[in-house]
Amino acid sequence: MKITVNGKSRELAAGTTVQALLATLQMDADRVAAEHNGSIVPKNRFADTILAEGDSLELVQFVGGG
Amino acid sequence: MRVFLNENVIEVVPGTSLFQLRDQYRPDADLVIFNGFPLKEDRPLAADDRVVLIRRGEQPSAAEMEALLMARHTPGVHEKVRGACVGIAGAGGLGSAVAIALARIGVGRLVVADFDLVEPSNLNRQQYFIDQIGLPKVEALQHNLARINPYVQVEIFFGRLTPDNSAIVFAEVDVLVEAFDLPDQKAMLVEAFLGSASAAPLVAASGLAGHGPANTVVTRRAGSRLYLVGDGCSAAGPGAGLMAPRVGVAAHHQANAVLRLLLGEEPE
């Protein structure tokens, strides 16, 4: 299936969760803010949020400093 | 004949001199600034001259400060800025600089939250003074902002922001600025605020450490209500300290994004 991640089209296996995608992208879930089809996904829902064909995902992995 | 006196337009009789104007409006002024230059000698006024009369040590009134800001800002901007409420989560290098920029342009109300005290190591980039070491940052900042523009309402929250209290502390803001240091805390705030009932946008920062090129720090849209400032990768750590210039670049990107959002313009 195809979904859009940070504006770019990406091919994923059906049933991929946000958490699985973060692992594939080698992103640290604790430092990530995720928006799924325009809604924020709480960290405790990363594991059970299943992505579907045509979904749009915005992922921001923060680095320290402020 | 029209001239500007302390940024207000007034009508004077043609032939009026500079000192006659002073004696009429503020005879106790000890500084007369004529078209940008302090003058000691009297001279005739011409149409559209700008005169500022100052009594040293005297603070402008709220109305005078208002007139001053209105004169400096494009028409229509001041009203929107003055009516706005902006939240700032974190009063370190980013937050203290954002707060000062927003107070200077006359944002009506700021809500600033931080749990930390001013430490000597903060002074390389944060907008505090050496005699404020040991004070809660929010108190020191409130004091500093009052010295810049006492007519900005500054509310402070001295404590830790959590998933439970963040949306409450910032319930009334029109825009929220994320100005934390630690990456998990940044992600926490984004999740808590953008997942709350508030419809306000959030301007976060990521990637501003070190002394890399300033031009790699950008403002971009990263979600439906999320804007992100930084180069996205320069983390603070050994070999990449946080320094006033680049932190300041990022902070002012954030402040400008806030201003653009308040004016209904896209920050990117």
The answer to whether residues B222 and A7 touch, using CB atoms and an 8 Å cutoff, is no
Residues B134 and B170 in one domain: yes
Q: What is the pLDDT of residues B184-222, one digit of tens each?
A: 999 999 999 999 999 999 999 999 999 999 999 999 999
Q: What integer pLDDT is reported at residue B69 of this predicted model?
A: 86
Residues B139 and B225 in one domain: yes
Residues B136 and B46 in one domain: no
Q: Name the CATH topology of A2-61.
A: Ubiquitin-like (UB roll) (3.10.20)
- Dist CA B157 CA B55 (whole Å): 36
Region for B229 from its dihedrals, namely left if φ exceeds 0, alpha if ψ lies in -120 to 50, beta otherwise: beta
Tokens of B170: 């910032």
> Residue B10 pairs with which residues in a beta bridge?
B3
Chain A residues whose CB is inside 8 A of the B187 CB are 30-33, 43, 60, 62
What is the domain-level CATH number for residue B250? 3.40.50.720
Chain A residues whose CB is inside 8 A of the B182 CB are 64
Region for B81 from its dihedrals, namely left if φ exceeds 0, alpha if ψ lies in -120 to 50, beta otherwise: alpha
Tokens of B96: 């203290």
B74: phi then psi, degrees, rounded to nearest 5: -60, 145
**Which of B10, B29, B58 lies at the terminal end of a domain, its last residue?**
B58
Largest CA distance in chain A: 39
Residues B106 and B233 in one domain: yes
Summarize the confidence of residues A5-33 as an average pLDDT: 97
> Residue A10 pairs with which residues in a beta bridge?
A3
Q: Is residue B63 part of a domain?
A: no
Query: What's at B18, amino acid-wise?
Result: L
Q: Is A42 on the interface with B (CB under 8 A)?
A: yes
Chain B residues whose CB is inside 8 A of the A32 CB are 187
Q: Is residue B71 part of a domain?
A: no
Q: Is residue B129 part of a domain?
A: yes
Residues B42 and B158 in one domain: no
Instruction: Tally the C-alpha atoms within 13 A of residue B199's C-alpha that lie toward its C-beta.
Output: 0
Q: Is residue B183 part of a domain?
A: yes
Tokens of A19: 């958490």
Total structural domains in chain B?
A: 2
Q: What is the pLDDT of residues B15-69, one digit of tens each?
A: 999 999 999 999 999 999 999 999 999 999 999 999 999 999 998 889 888 888 8
Which of B137, B162, B190 is the mutation pick for testing A, counting most A CBs within 10 A? B190
Residues B111 and B162 in one domain: yes
Residues B38 and B144 in one domain: no
Query: What's at B208, amino acid-wise?
Result: L
Q: Is residue B216 part of a domain?
A: yes
What's the domain range around B54? Answer: 2-58
Residues B47 and B107 in one domain: no
**B75 pLDDT higher than 80:** no
Summarize the confidence of residues B105-127 as an average pLDDT: 97
- Dist CA B18 CA B142 (whole Å): 38
Residues B151 and B116 in one domain: yes
Residues B252 and B120 in one domain: yes
